[in-house]
Amino acid sequence: MKLIFWTVLSRINKRILPKIHRRPDLLKLSLFDKAIVVWKIVVTYNYLDASSSRKVIKNNNG
């Protein structure tokens, strides 16, 4: 269930939120842009965590 939630949220972020890594100077981001970067990091981290925990459970059961 966690994996589905974070997958959907990750795909929504990918389509809706701007791509900040294409900006020439990441040190001069506004507060809003920094918040977007942090949000994307949180979603990505949780997606990867849910994905890896699912693989561990599969390997232990199988």
Tens digit of each residue's pLDDT (9 = 90 or more) over 19-61: 877 777 878 888 998 899 899 999 999 999 998 887 666 666 6
d(CA 15, CA 7): 13
Sign for the pseudo-dihedral over CA of 34, 40, 44, 46: positive
CA 50, chain centre distance (Å):
11
pTM of the model: 0.73
Of the two residues 18 and 35, the one the predictor is more confident about is 35
- The confidence score (pLDDT) of residue 20 equals 78
**7 token code pair:** 């997958």
